[in-house]
Amino acid sequence: MEALYPIIILFVLFFLNIPIAFALMGSALFYFIFLNTTMSMDMVIQQFVTSVESFPYLAVPFFIMVGSVMNYSGISEELMNMAEVLAGHMKGGLAQVNCLLSAMMGGISGSANADAAMESKILVPEMIKKGFSKEFSAAVTAASSAVSPVIPPGTNLILYALIANVPVGDMFLAGYTPGILMTAAMMVTVYIISKKRGYEPSRERMARPVEIIKQTIKSIWALAIPFGIIMGMRIGVFTPTEAGGVAVFFCFLVGFFIYKKLKLHHIPIILMETVKSTGAVMIIIASAKVFGYYMTLERIPQFITNSLMNFTDNKFVLLMVINLLLLFVGMFIEGGAALVILAPLLVPAVKALGVDPLHFGVIFIVNIMIGGLTPPFGSMMFTVCSIVGVRLEGFIKEVWPFILALLVVLFLVTYSESIALFIPNLLR
């Protein structure tokens, strides 16, 4: 029973709203100070320091920087124009653009909160001017931002690949199908709600082929980034870490010399944003590694695997149980933190029952993104509500149809491996 005290302490700290990194570190230190007195504290500190001394982790700050550069280089503006040309004529107009833009942004920013913040500042005011309610605009923005980390090169895809020991390139490819399904599900939801409420298109008619071609030429540099990353890794031109560096360099070139929106005075701002975001991610990873060290010593992953195996030997039942667990945990723990804590525990169990770890990665990441929309601690929910100025009660009333739509996609990718891994299987 004593071995479970750190886990109990961890959840107590969560409910006290202690930052996730400090909660992980505090509960792990309790174990090493009071329960495992034979372990030298030097070893514990060494685990904390060396846990992020890994070359593949360099991909994280690079891709975070890509998202930051994008906001100052004009890339996000061109993507929004492209989305408006493609979807502005549909029922719901700017709400449809909101959904499509998140899918396009996902290939570059890979961050749900960055996407939610950007669209809250740029699109939501325009949606309100067009007659959309503030609560509905906030709900669409938060829900659509759930797509961004699912479509490559989301940092969650990188973290899961490193934890589960699967190729980052394959994990990237696996993200496209669920990302497209999530986007389609939300656009259908927007259409149904817009038809019921009379929300009008932002364009009088569908864009002519000439308009689409002209905007595609303008946006091609932004659209080429994710495909260049994937193709470069697939043909072995560069590693995931090198792909991040190439993407940053390419974004700078596009911002300075093609769109000409990026200026020298933006560089310190970009660097500061990158350092802050990277620091937040890395301290969580380091703290989770120390917490994982405690769990390894107490053989907790093996205990969980055996418990799940004893509960059921049917992989479909196991996936249902895990989905329910993740949906519950996602209500209280931020998605990235849930990933680094739970993936090392659950991956061995699903592998033991024959579930492809790549397939489970898709399930896991879609699941934790739904958690970002749900109270009480949904990160995208808080981001959008604070920027837009919406009460949580109004937001929750408007967001539930989108959560249901995303749950349908989660069910589909959970129980159809062929759909979830359609693109990786196609290219294997």
Q: Which of 45, 225, 56, 223 is nearest to 153 (CA)?
A: 225
Q: What is the pLDDT of residue 108?
A: 61
pLDDT in tens, 136-164: 999 999 999 889 888 887 778 888 998 88
Give dist(CA 238, CA 54) in Å, integer.
17
Decide if pLDDT at 31 tops 80: yes
Give pLDDT tens digits for 351-409: 888 889 999 999 999 998 898 888 766 778 877 888 888 888 889 899 999 999 999 99
Contacts of 231 (CB under 8 A, 6+ apart): none
Tell how far CA 408 is from the center of its chain. 18
pLDDT at 80 (0 to 100)? 81
CB 207 within 8 A of CB 420: no
Per-residue pLDDT of 83-112, as tens digits, reads 888 888 888 888 898 898 888 876 565 567
Distance CA 288, CA 292 (A): 6
User: How many Å apart are CA 358 and CA 194, to the nearest integer?
Assistant: 36
317-340 pLDDT tens trace: 889 988 988 887 777 677 777 787
- Length of the chain (residues): 428
Average pLDDT for 218-234: 77
Give the residue among 308, 326, 337 at the shortest CA–CA distance from 406. Answer: 326
Statement: the pTM of the whole predicted model exceeds 0.75: yes
* Backbone φ, ψ for residue 191 (5° rounding): -60, -45
